[in-house]
């Protein structure tokens, strides 16, 4: 059976706690807490990649407001906005790589390609630059962090372009309002803070017997749900960003053809995770309804704000995935079995959920 590649080397974690220091430097207690989370994520990624887990993280750079650690084949950067007196400590962690061209050229290429693919992606870039301009040209924590640029455009580059736009869409959310790039506007939910955490969405099993894919999906779930006991709206934000990356690969396939996404001489490509996150979203709602029907009815009353916003988000996700299916069809390819199984599972769960409420 054809194996799928999983693109899971990128992580962003934000510490929710704010801090205020006299010199805008990183606070030691905040650093240690977030570094511990980063190390756990990196170690999980290393195991999934078949790499040895490093025994320690070495501090290689300390610039007061930004610290850089190396842990095995991964680089962890902890930072805060040096222009703000009060702010949260944030983290970027990814595998260490070398760019084949300069950081500036790499970013320029990605921006030009994104703009040429769709105005949807231009919406993300324009909003990000307006809101986070201080990060734009930083080689350690700026947008170029997400890119893999060789001398020529190749599979690694196009995969990273999808991750680049996915990650730049994350910081555009405002509390419980997600930035819906296709509408160039925010989509707002109103959830009680006592809502169950997003870990409620965990799947007990996956619709595949392939041991490799099961192991990879278990790793995905561990990173997104087991370890990160975060609010439900952040799971929806993750879904929202996977809509973006799915649209990117669909447009790339249309413009550059199969060689842009399929490994040379094979049918191997990166798995599309959008159907998995659609399943997670509906699984959460299904379990929430089972565990607390009264609270569920309060939050997801038919015709209410949350129901309307959820319908818009799911409709956008479905449209994005259908774009991908059509792009595959145009190059005479089909979705992988696991993608198809998760997609059908989602459609069945959604019909049942919307029949009983929302």
Q: What is the pLDDT of residues 49-105, one digit of tens each?
A: 677 777 789 999 998 899 999 998 888 999 988 887 767 788 888 877 777 889 999
pLDDT for res 2:
42
d(CA 166, CA 160) in angstroms, rounded, equals 10
- Pick the residue with more confidence: 259 or 1? 259
Pick from 23, 156, 168, 22: nearest CA to 92: 168
Q: Which two tokens stand for residue 47?
A: 């195991």
pLDDT confidence bin for 31, thresholds 50/70/90? confident
Phi, psi of 355 (to 5 degrees): -75, -35
Higher pLDDT, 338 or 37: 338
Residue 267 per-residue DSSP state: -
Report pLDDT digits (tens) over 116-171.
Answer: 999 999 999 999 999 999 999 999 999 999 999 999 999 999 999 999 999 999 99
If 0-12 CB within 10 Å is exposed, 13-18 middle and 19+ buried, where does residue 303 land?
exposed
Sign for the CA dihedral angle at 140, 142, 147, 149 comes to negative
On the 0-12 / 13-18 / 19+ scale of CB atoms within 10 A, 3 is middle
Tens-digit pLDDT profile for residues 174-209: 999 999 999 999 999 999 988 999 999 999 999 999
What does the radius of gyration of the chain's CA atoms come to, in whole angstroms?
20
Q: Is the pLDDT of residue 33 over 90?
A: no
pTM of the model: 0.87
Question: Among 4, 76, 69, which Cα is nearest to 335's?
Answer: 4
Q: Has residue 309 got a pLDDT over 80? A: yes
Instruction: Take residue 175 and report the two structure tokens written for it.
Output: 């509390």
Write the DSSP assignment of 183-238 as a string of letters: TTEEEE----TTSPPGGGG--S--S---HHHHHHHHHHHIIIIIS----HHHHHHH
pLDDT at 8: 42
């Amino acid at each position: 059976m054809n194996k799928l590649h999983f693109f899971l080397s990128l992580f962003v974690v934000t510490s929710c706690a704010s801090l205020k220091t006299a010199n805008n430097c990183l606070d030691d207690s905040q650093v240690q807490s977030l570094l511990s989370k980063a190390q756990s994520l990196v170690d999980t990624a290393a195991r999934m990649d078949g790499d040895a887990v490093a025994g320690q993280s070495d501090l290689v750079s300390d610039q007061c407001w930004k610290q850089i650690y190396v842990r095995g084949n991964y680089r962890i950067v902890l930072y805060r906005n040096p222009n703000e007196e009060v702010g949260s400590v944030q983290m970027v962690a990814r595998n260490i790589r070398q760019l084949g061209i300069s950081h500036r050229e790499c970013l320029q290429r990605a921006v030009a390609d994104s703009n040429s693919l769709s105005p949807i992606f231009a919406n993300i870039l324009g909003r990000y630059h307006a809101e986070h301009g201080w990060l734009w040209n930083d080689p350690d924590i700026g947008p170029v962090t997400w890119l893999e640029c060789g001398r020529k455009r190749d599979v690694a580059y196009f995969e990273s372009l999808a991750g680049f736009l996915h990650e730049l869409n994350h910081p555009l959310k405002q509390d419980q309002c997600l930035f819906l790039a296709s509408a160039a506007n925010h989509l707002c939910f109103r959830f009680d803070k006592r809502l169950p955490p997003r870990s409620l969405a965990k799947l007990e099993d996956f619709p595949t017997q392939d041991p490799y894919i099961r192991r990879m999906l278990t790793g995905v779930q561990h990173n997104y749900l087991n370890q990160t006991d975060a609010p439900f709206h952040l799971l929806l934000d993750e879904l929202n960003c996977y809509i973006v990356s799915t649209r990117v690969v669909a447009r790339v396939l249309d413009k550059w053809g199969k060689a842009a996404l399929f490994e040379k001489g094979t049918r191997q490509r990166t798995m599309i995770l959008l159907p998995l996150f659609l399943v997670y979203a509906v699984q959460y709602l299904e379990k929430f309804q089972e565990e607390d029907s009264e609270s569920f009815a309060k939050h997801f009353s038919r015709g209410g704000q949350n129901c309307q916003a959820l319908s818009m988000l799911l409709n956008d996700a479905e449209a994005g995935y259908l774009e991908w299916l059509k792009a595959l069809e145009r190059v005479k390819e089909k979705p992988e079995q696991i993608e198809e199984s998760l997609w059908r599972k989602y459609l069945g769960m959604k019909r049942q959920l919307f029949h009983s409420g929302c």
